[in-house]
Amino acid sequence: MKVVIAGEMPFVREIGVLCEEAGHDTVMYLVEDFQSAVHSGWAMPDAANADIAIEIHNESAGAKEELIVSLASFIPQDALIVTSALASSVTQAASWVTNPERVVGFGVIPPLQRNGIVEIAAGLNTDPKYMQKAVEFCNSLNQESVEVADGPGLVRARTICCLINEAASALHEGVASAEDIDKAMKLGTNYPYGPLEWADYFGLDTVFGVLTGLYTEWGEDRYRVSPLIRRMVQAGKLGRKSGEGFYKYED
């Protein structure tokens, strides 16, 4: 299948690798590169015959809408659109495009690996045949799919980002250092990563987007973004992809 992926790191790279390993004809774009390609016309040949378009933008609803509208305008009218349902609901994302019945939401948490799991959600207008296509596509990537209800964050991102938010609040209040918070969670609860280490891996801008989406959806204080996370995003300290987050990175 021809797959076009547009979004942010590390999601684009990791999903793209799974697609390539599965033998799919895969084209990957970062958000800014895709929009530049759209304006110049370079993206048209890549997207014009796509079977599946994967949109992965979790930072803001406005930027996400612009990206998914651009993708939908270039791909065939019956192509499956798989949208990251971390910062917004599938129903909201589908409302921005024509043929909303072809939009299916998904949720993954980096780092991805073979024999992993992908959460899949249908919007209110999603056609069951496109849900089936999404399931078959996930299976082709050696990923198990599990169907969950529509809503920002789905299951894992919602839970993990709330954990990260609480850990950031503890750091902000001087309860412990970032290293000790992560060590306590890894050794004390057997988590694969400490919450602050995890936040750095998939980006504080993504964490911010998920929590903002949840707060917008539910209006509950438990989803209010920690002031520390908000300031770090404003300062461009997004984690590994920017070279600094809760930790510093030289690679």
Would you give the distance in Å from CA 35 to the centre of its chain? 18
Q: Dump pLDDT digits (tens) for 157-173.
A: 999 999 999 999 999 99
User: Within a 10 A sphere around the Cβ of 216, how many other Cβ atoms?
Assistant: 15
Task: Please check whether residue 7 lies inside any domain of the structure.
Answer: yes
Rounded average pLDDT over 53-71: 88
User: Within a 10 A sphere around the Cβ of 241, how many other Cβ atoms?
Assistant: 17
Task: Please check whether residue 152 lies inside any domain of the structure.
Answer: no
Rg of the chain on CA atoms, in Å? 18
27 neighbors 4 (Cβ within 8 angstroms): yes
* 166 and 203 part of one domain: yes
Residue 47 pLDDT > 70: yes
Task: Please check whether residue 204 lies inside any domain of the structure.
Answer: yes
Rounded distance, CA 233 to CA 238, Å?
Answer: 6
Task: Please check whether residue 110 lies inside any domain of the structure.
Answer: yes
Rounded distance, CA 207 to CA 239, Å?
Answer: 11
CB-based contacts of 126, cutoff 8 Å, min separation 6: 90, 94, 100, 101, 102, 103, 104
Which range marks the domain in which residue 202 is found? 158-234
Q: Dump pLDDT digits (tens) for 12-38.
A: 999 999 999 999 999 999 988 888 877
Q: Dump pLDDT digits (tens) for 90-144.
A: 999 999 998 999 999 999 988 887 778 999 999 999 999 999 999 999 999 999 9
Rounded distance, CA 158 to CA 135, Å?
Answer: 22
Rounded distance, CA 248 to CA 233, Å?
Answer: 15
Task: Please check whether residue 137 lies inside any domain of the structure.
Answer: yes
Rounded average pLDDT over 85-92: 90
Q: Is 159 strand, coil or helix? A: helix
* 142 and 162 part of one domain: no
Q: What is the pLDDT of residue 41?
A: 66
* 82 and 203 part of one domain: no
Q: What is the pLDDT of residue 16?
A: 94
* 137 and 44 part of one domain: yes
| Predicted TM-score of the model (pTM) | 0.90
Query: Is the preceding omega at residue 110 within 30 degrees of 0, hence cis?
Result: no
Rounded average pLDDT over 205-220: 93
Closest C-alpha to 152, from 193, 93, 80, 198: 93
User: Within a 10 A sphere around the Cβ of 213, how many other Cβ atoms?
Assistant: 27
Q: What is the pLDDT of residue 33?
A: 85
* 133 and 34 part of one domain: yes
pLDDT-derived band at 238 (thresholds 50, 70, 90) equals very high
Query: Is the preceding omega at residue 10 within 30 degrees of 0, hence cis?
Result: yes
Rounded average pLDDT over 214-233: 94
Q: Of 115, 147, 179, which residue sits at a domain end?
A: 147
* Residue 10, domain CATH: 3.40.50.720
* 6 and 92 part of one domain: yes
* 24 and 143 part of one domain: yes
* 25 and 125 part of one domain: yes
Q: Order of strands, edge to edge, in the sheet holding 2-7?
A: 25-30, 2-7, 52-56, 80-84, 103-107, 116-122, 143-147
Helix (H) or strand (E) holding 17: helix 11-21
- Please give the tally of structural domains in the chain: 2
* 84 and 205 part of one domain: no
Rounded average pLDDT over 146-157: 93
Percent of the chain with pLDDT over 70: 97
Task: Please check whether residue 249 lies inside any domain of the structure.
Answer: no
Q: What is the pLDDT of residue 40?
A: 74
Q: Of 117, 147, 177, which residue sits at a domain end?
A: 147
Rounded distance, CA 116 to CA 218, Å?
Answer: 29
Lowest mean pLDDT across 56-60, 103-107, 125-129, 226-230: 56-60
Task: Please check whether residue 115 lies inside any domain of the structure.
Answer: yes
* 187 and 138 part of one domain: no
Residue 82 pLDDT > 70: yes
* 96 and 186 part of one domain: no
* 17 and 68 part of one domain: yes
